[in-house]
Amino acid sequence: MTALSPEEWQVLLLSLKVSGVAMAAILPIAFALAWVLARWRFPGKVLLDALVHLPLVLPPVVTGWLLLIAFGPAGPLGRFFAEGFGLTFIFRWTGAALAAAVMALPLMVRAMRLSIEAVDRRLESAARSLGAGRWRTFATITLPLAMPGVLAGLVLGLARSIGEFGATITFASNIPGETQTLPLAIYSALQMPGSEWQVTRLAVLSILVSLAALVASEWLARRSGSRYGQAGAAHHAL
């Protein structure tokens, strides 16, 4: 009795979709924020730093409530996305993805910022003097050297988003087939008497997904790190 039931498949695929979309959407934003925090100096930087870290220190249910206020039908961002892009979040899988992305953001920014700060800027000036413009220097020197940290951030974020519960259930609710990801499905199963077997199966599924993400990240880190001496330095620093 190992084959997944249609309901379990639905939960698994929805979880992967929510986390995958959350990562794809938040990765460029996380990197840009990490870049700004690592490289720029401006008034209000402490404030931006604190804001980015908020989802890490707030109770997730509070983050979910804040998302509800901002991205709800009456919220300023909610109206902006609804009117501008026809995109709504409440009670929809997009809301689950948004919650997962916001909760993953601080971990991703932290890892990426460290790795950007660790890049030796003297190497960038060497590239400039050899004829590379800013963008080429970024693409050929800075980004490859920061890559282990970027991957580490991606994995941390992915793990966080797969496990996201509090902000999701507050903001997007717990709707089977729409916003019910693995943790929410386990929670629902736990509410029903006599569902121990179902809970066990979902928990094992959840462990397998996390393990797969971990193995994939190790593989990626090795691949990107083996090309030079500082193999995944930022990766292991975490």
Partner 1 sequence: MPFDLAIALKRGKLRLDYAFRTEKGGLTALFGPSGAGKTSLLDAIAGLARPSAGHILVQDTILFDKARRIDLRPEQRRCGYVFQDLRLFPHRSVRDNLLYGWRLAPPAQRWMDLDTALGFLGIGHLLDRSPATLSGGEAQRVAIGRALLSGPRFLLMDEPLASVDAERREEILTVIERIRDELALPILYVSHDRAEVDRLADRVIDIPARG
Residue numbers at the binding site for partner 1 (CB under 8 A)? 120, 122-123, 125-133, 136, 140-141, 144-145, 227-230
User: How many CB atoms are located within 10 Å of the residue 13 CB?
Assistant: 11
Choose between 16 and 231: whose C-beta lies nearer to partner 1.
231
Question: Smallest distance from the beta carbon of 126 to partner 1, in angstroms?
Answer: 4
CA distance 213 to 182: 15
Choose between 58 and 143: whose C-beta lies nearer to partner 1.
143
Q: Are 211 and 203 in contact (CB under 8 A)?
A: no
Question: Smallest distance from the beta carbon of 132 to partner 1, in angstroms?
Answer: 6
Choose between 37 and 234: whose C-beta lies nearer to partner 1.
234
Question: Smallest distance from the beta carbon of 143 to partner 1, in angstroms?
Answer: 10
Which two tokens mark 237?
């620093």
CA dihedral 70, 71, 75, 77 (to 10 degrees): 90
Choose between 120 and 196: whose C-beta lies nearer to partner 1.
120
Place of tokens 């975490």: 238
CA distance 165 to 63: 11
Helix (H) or strand (E) holding 201: helix 196-225
Q: What is the CA radius of gyration of the chain?
A: 20
Question: Smallest distance from the beta carbon of 35 to partner 1, in angstroms?
Answer: 19
Question: Smallest distance from the beta carbon of 214 to partner 1, in angstroms?
Answer: 25
Q: Are 105 and 63 in contact (CB under 8 A)?
A: no
Q: Closest by alpha carbon to 118, among 151, 142, 139?
A: 142
Choose between 131 and 194: whose C-beta lies nearer to partner 1.
131
Question: Smallest distance from the beta carbon of 77 to partner 1, in angstroms?
Answer: 39
Choose between 233 and 238: whose C-beta lies nearer to partner 1.
233
Question: Smallest distance from the beta carbon of 150 to partner 1, in angstroms?
Answer: 14
What DSSP string describes 92-120? SHHHHHHHHHHHHHHHHHHHHHHHHHTS-
Choose between 95 and 149: whose C-beta lies nearer to partner 1.
149
Q: Closest by alpha carbon to 225, among 161, 157, 145, 107?
A: 145
